[in-house]
Amino acid sequence: MRNKNSIKLKIVAISCFLIAAIIGIATKEYTTGILFLVMAISYSLIFFSQKQN
């Protein structure tokens, strides 16, 4: 149960980073948008590499 909640929270966090990136790029705040996009990609890569182990 605890592991499922942890996975759900990580997916929500990745989604929030992606939403923030989309909003940043849409409002022409490219630096902020790209920063959130990089954070989402790196966080998802860490998440998937931990899940495979």
Give a yes or no: residue 34 inside a domain: yes
3-state secondary structure of 5: helix
pLDDT in tens, the chain (53 residues): 668 888 888 899 999 999 999 999 999 999 999 999 999 999 999 988 887 76
pLDDT the model gives residue 16: 95
Give a yes or no: residue 40 inside a domain: yes
Give a yes or no: residue 4 inside a domain: no
Give a yes or no: residue 1 inside a domain: no
pLDDT the model gives residue 34: 95
For 29, left (φ over 0), alpha (ψ -120 to 50), or beta? beta
Give a yes or no: residue 27 inside a domain: yes
Total domains in the chain come to 1
Q: Residue 32: CB partners within 8 Å, gap ≥ 6?
A: 20, 24
Give a yes or no: residue 31 inside a domain: yes
Cβ(3)–Cβ(22) below 8 Å: no
DSSP 13-46: HHHHHHHHHHHHHHTT-HHHHHHHHHHHHHHHHH
Domain of residue 44, residue span: 17-53
Kindly report the pTM of this predicted structure.
Answer: 0.82
